[in-house]
Amino acid sequence: LTDAVNGSQLFASNQAIETVANEVTNINNGKGIKYFHANSTLADSQATGTDSTAAGPEAVASVQDGVAIGHGATAGANAGDVALGLGSTTAAVVGTASTKIAGTTYTFAGATPTSTVSVGAAGAERTITNVAAGR
């Protein structure tokens, strides 16, 4: 029993291999992947935490389920942390149960957070724009 390959099958296989080779060349030359592009000669990102994601030069997600996106972003304090943007770093979570304004105490939901989202770093704080009130 033999498996014969005809010319059209061989041609189709060669075309598929050439397509993959071209895509790899494009990625290596900085052209990126459709809908994802990066332009940097800096060190690669590192996703060392279990199920973590890191994107951007020198971005590091070292905690379980951490996400670090942007140049030098670091999610490394608590499982599930998210660091967004240049140099953003996560830190220990701080729960805020309530505050008092003009003698009236206001309580908040989520007084015992498990992780944090950072959009900056100490000395490099950012504002968050276009955010609606939540629940």
Q: For the chain, give every domain's residue range.
A: 1-37, 42-135
Find all residues with CB under 8 Å of 71, minimum gap 6, and list them: 40, 42, 56, 57, 58, 59, 86, 87
Q: So what's the pLDDT on residue 100?
A: 97
Structure tokens of 122? 């100490």
Q: What are phi and psi of 28, to 5 degrees?
A: -65, -25
Catalogue the E-assigned strands of the chain. 46-47, 53-55, 60-61, 67-69, 74-75, 82-84, 98-101, 104-107, 117-118
Q: So what's the pLDDT on residue 129?
A: 96
Q: Cβ(70)–Cβ(40) under 8 Å?
A: no
Q: Cβ(68)–Cβ(103) under 8 Å?
A: no
Any long-range contacts for 71-78 (C-beta under 8 Å, 24+ apart)?
Answer: 71/40, 71/42, 75/49, 75/118, 77/116, 78/114, 78/115, 78/116
Q: What are the pLDDT digits (tens) for 73-124?
A: 999 999 999 999 999 999 999 999 999 999 999 999 889 999 999 999 999 9
Q: What are the pLDDT digits (tens) for 42-80?
A: 999 999 999 999 999 999 999 999 999 999 999 999 999
CA–CA separation, 32 and 34 (whole Å): 7
